[in-house]
Structure 1
Amino acid sequence: MNGSNAPSSSDRRQAELREFLRSRRARLSPSDVGLPDAGRRRTPGLRREEVAVLAGVGVSWYTWLEQGRDIKVSEDVLDAVGRTLRLDPVERAHLYRLAGLNPPQARSEPSLPASPELLRLLDAWAPRPGYIRDRHWNFVAVNDSARLVFGYGDIDHNCLISFFTNARYRVRHQHWDETAPAVAASFRADAARHPEDPEFDRIAAELAAVSPEFAELWDRHDVGEHTNAVKAVDHPEAGTLVFDATLLPLPQLPDHHLILHNPRPGTGTDARLEQLMRQRSLVVTHPG
């Protein structure tokens, strides 16, 4: 195909918007939205006129929206159309993007307990360290390996706070000084994704009051992503342990992440980690 005849990105988006709205109309019947059923229809689903009336918009305007015309679109109107078509959150965000708007910010989700399946995954990941944190970096679940390797104790409830205030963790982290700016910048980036959520400011303010290092870094207003990292730990019993740390989103727990640490190849970490866990198991099995 000649490149000059290829559809533009705007044309493709308009075509997708047209087909998306048509398909959402087609899956609803009049009775689904409280309208009387007038018998069989030539095409399944709601008519454009019915969607327009239920959404409180003009019939011509809704027709132009489906046709992908260059019209002014507001969030309130898209929300009304989305409610009428019974769109779920993923479909609603898709509609926003197709209409040329940024999807609305997700509501603040509270910390949710990990499912039994996720807890079994953390246990199965041992002897490698792993944990789950919520949107505010609170620990939701931590496996025994992570507690043993990083020095997390009963008072450690938040990943960010522990990074800056847990003396055991800090002394073990080989590159704490180099890593700290990226950690603070990542937390600020997460806070920027949820400007309506005051909990980020509360955590940052309370941490800055007790950690001069964090206060200085927070005042820089740096932002950055922190999804992958190499983490080197000087463990008092096992020696140097080096991990590839990967942060994975959990779709079943909105705004929660699973952080897995995998021994870095060629560092001997795998063998030392297994020996450490065996020794600790013997101590627990035969105390004293």
Structure 2
Amino acid sequence: MARTELGAYLTARRAHVTPAEANLPVTGHRRVPGLRREEVALLAGVSADYYVRLEQGRERSPSAQVLDALAAALRLDEDGRLHLFRLAGLGPRVRAVGVRDRVEPGLLTLMDAWPHNPAVVYNRAYDILASNAIADALFHGWAHSRNLMHMVFTDPAARAFYRDWHDVARNCVAGFRLGHGAAPDDPRVRQVLTELLDVSPEFTELWAHHDARGKTLERKRFDHRDVGPLTLTMQTFDVRSAPGQELVVHHAEPSSPSSEALALLGSLAATSPRA
């Protein structure tokens, strides 16, 4: 029987937990990093045979109690736990009705009222659905693509634009994986996934790690061709009126060089025609 997404996720997650982290003794030679199957079973209070069946796809219907125990054994955070439950069919998933691409007019008005804060709205496929003028200036008018995943993994300029490209890439894939878990049958999400697996070895390698994590407060470092280095803090918000959409707002530390560079970028945006 073919391994399921649930089995692949369990395998990937136990590789990231060391025996020391799980308060287990280190005995014998280990062929792979992380916990052995029997160690996960011991920590979760299930039989080793049952856990092996889960990883191999021969058991597909674990109970919520078992999933809670596995989440604790594998030291999953809330996003990881949610993803685990979704893969087991016990978490909320979105029906495959397509990714909603309409942004509420009131939200567009609000974004345009932030001339000094780059703001974008994107969907689970990471398509940019809306952006204000300064965000357009920050991201060079989206000249390569209006899909953030394509921008990160297929634009040659991305590795210079994002000064910490590897961290950005890893976080993007983890967020995309979480969205994919919520709507695995959505045609646009599947299309972007297929495209990236076909063209980007870096994406394919990161996808195989099975990291699933939503965006939180984070800082990103950019190197912009017009205003130079920028360090911006990002705040991410779910759009309640459109499940699956997220609003990301960037800001700079007051009175910092990045704040001055962002002000210059705002001036450039104000004098440049929008597409």
Q: TM-score range by the shorter chain?
A: 0.5 to 0.7
CA positional deviation for 1:184: 0.8
1:8-87 paired onto structure 2 within 5 Å: none
- State the match for 1:147 in structure 2: 136
CA distance in 2, matches of 1:248, 1:113: 17
User: Which of 220, 228, 248 is the matching residue for 2:209?
Assistant: 220
Indicate how the Cα distance of structure 1 residues 105 and 168 shifts in structure 2: closer, same or farther if over 3 A, else same: same
- For the 8 Å contact 1:150–1:169, the answer to whether it is kept is no
TM-score by length of structure 2 reads: 0.60
Q: Distance in 1 between matches of 2:125 and 2:186?
A: 10
Contact 2:93–2:181, Cα closer than 8 Å, also in 1:
no
CA distance in structure 2 between the partners assigned to 1:112 and 1:250 by the alignment: 12
1:102 to partner: Cα distance: 5.3
Tell me, what secondary structure is at the counterpart of 1:225? coil
Distance apart, 1:111 and its partner CA: 1.9
Is 1:253 aligned to 2:242, yes or no? Answer: yes
Equivalent residues, number: 185
**1:243 aligned to 2:232?**
yes
Alignment CA distance shift 1:269-1:123 (3 Å): same
* Contact map agreement 2:122 2:129 (CA 8 A) in 1: yes
Post-superposition CA distance 1:112-135 (Å, at most 9, x none):
321221111111112221111122
Q: Counterpart amino acid of 1:138?
A: D
Deviation (angstroms), 1:218: 1.2
Is residue 151–residue 169 contact of structure 1 (8 Å, CA) maintained in 2? no
Offset, 1:235: 1.2
**AA paired with 1:271?**
E
1:113 aligns with 2:105: no
Q: 1:236 to 1:195 in 2, by over 3 A?
A: closer
Looking at CA atoms only, which structure, 1 or 2, has the larger radius of gyration? 1
- Would the alpha carbon gap of residues 275 and 205 (structure 1) be closer, same or farther in structure 2, given more than 3 Å must change? same
Alpha-carbon offset, residue 258 of structure 1: 0.6
Alignment CA distance shift 1:283-1:227 (3 Å): closer
Letter in 2 for 1:252: S
How far 1:283 sits from its partner (Å)? Answer: 6.0
Segments of structure 2 that go 5 or more residues without pairing to the other structure are 1-88
Q: 2: CA distance between counterparts of 1:202 and 1:265?
A: 41
- Asked whether the equivalents of residues 150 and 168 of structure 1 are also in contact (C-alpha less than 8 Å), the reply is no
Aligned-pair identity in percent equals: 28
Deviates more, 1:113-122 or 1:222-231: 222-231
Does the aligned pair in 1 maintain the 2:218–2:234 contact within 8 Å?
yes
Separation in structure 2 between the aligned mates of residue 241 and residue 268 of structure 1, nearest angstrom: 8
Q: What TM-score does the superposition give when structure 1 sets the normalisation length?
A: 0.57
Q: Is the 8 A contact 1:161 1:207 kept in 2?
A: yes
Aligned in 2, Cα 1:162/1:266: closer, same or farther, shift over 3 Å? same
Counterpart position of 1:275: 264
Q: Deviations over 1:56-101 (max 9, x none)?
A: xxxxxxxxxxxxxxxxxxxxxxxxxxxxxxxxxxxxxxxxxxxxx9
The alignment status of 1:232 with 2:224, answered yes or no, reads: no
Aligned residue for 1:202? 191
Deviation per CA, 1:40-60, whole angstroms, max 9, x where unpaired? Answer: xxxxxxxxxxxxxxxxxxxxx
Q: How many angstroms does 1:229 deviate by?
A: 1.6
RMSD between superposed Cα atoms in Å: 2.5
Question: Aligned equivalents of 1:258 and 1:175: distance in 2?
Answer: 22
**Aligned partners of 1:243 and 1:264 also within 8 Å:** yes
